[in-house]
Structure 1
């Protein structure tokens, strides 16, 4: 397995039952590598602040991930600046822990990430949080005009025409 582009390992033996705050920031090189991985034009900033504590099931990390990225419009490829300010609530569970695959979920459940038992990776957690917060199909202000120019109709335009086309076909069948 390839090492993550943005790795900030926190050893488990440094995390106690009381909360400890950890702040991380990606370097320019790490941001460039993550931008390539997530197919972004650029990542101008990626920071995370986590409050860590151990519990019986693993390590709980709560905090925020903030980022400034530039995505590409899926229609025009125009650059779209986007900011991310996402809360984080994770439980890191040792991959070799008994019953690691059988975690009961309730309304207070945290998203889980596996770790090797020795250290958790807050950098990868921040990168994944940022990526999940982004619109997978971003459209810029020129997207609708470009689609119209290419002859693509909107969903709103297609629905009435589709219904009328079905009615027209039924009427044609009835006429002798």
Structure 2
């Protein structure tokens, strides 16, 4: 198993997979934590292999595991999340960027251009950042409601701004008149 972070493509064997096992030390964990703006990062590991695909392309498959701590979007209290996901990338030698100005890349696209080196460490950081919960929320945390208005008036609610809220009141009034 290799513990190196960057692998030169010309040095990779064509007929056998190259295994990697990344377990960053405390200093690197702290750097990644700061880069991703996390409160904490523990137990980060990325294991897998790199193998040739066709004559010039390469495929990386692996498993990412980490425990991350992020602030709750409601209370700002720490929220701990365990992440365990499969990761795969295909590095293509004959890469061409689309010419259309409005080209949309599919969300599940795992294809990247092949350079002189393949860096599992960078793939690990990218995969971790994509796997982070966008809106971490502590169990039971809910947004409260606050109403602001002039003294003596009823504050507006969410129901008041719904387009059909007035129709329900009109229907009820018409039924009473019948």
TM-score after normalising by structure 2: 0.70
1:88 maps to what in 2? 87
Q: Could you say if the C-alpha distance between residues 167 and 126 of structure 1 is closer, same or farther in structure 2, counting changes exceeding 3 Å?
A: same
2:167 maps to what in 1? 167
Task: Tell me by how many angstroms 1:8 deviates.
Answer: 1.2
Unaligned runs of 5+ in 2: 99-107, 148-156
Cα distance in 2 between the residues matched to 1:101 and 1:59:
18
Is residue 51 of structure 1 aligned with residue 46 of structure 2?
A: no
Larger Rg: 2
Unaligned runs of 5+ in 1: 1-6, 103-108
Q: After the TM superposition, which residues 130-145 of structure 1 pair with which residues of structure 2 at under 5 Å, given as runs?
A: 130-144=128-142
Cα distance in 1 between the residues matched to 2:167 and 2:158:
14
Q: Aligned pairs, how many?
A: 151
Is residue 101 of structure 1 aligned with residue 97 of structure 2?
A: yes
Q: Deviations over 1:89-135 (max 9, x none)?
A: 11123xxx444336xxxxxx9602345x3211101101111111111
2:76 maps to what in 1? 77
Equivalent residues of 2:43, 2:67 under 8 A apart: yes
Cα distance in 2 between the residues matched to 1:159 and 1:78:
30
User: Per residue, is there more helix in 1 or in 2?
Assistant: 1
Task: Tell me by how many angstroms 1:10 deviates.
Answer: 1.1
TM-score after normalising by structure 1: 0.71
SS in 2 for 1:143: coil
**Alignment RMSD (CA, Å):** 3.2
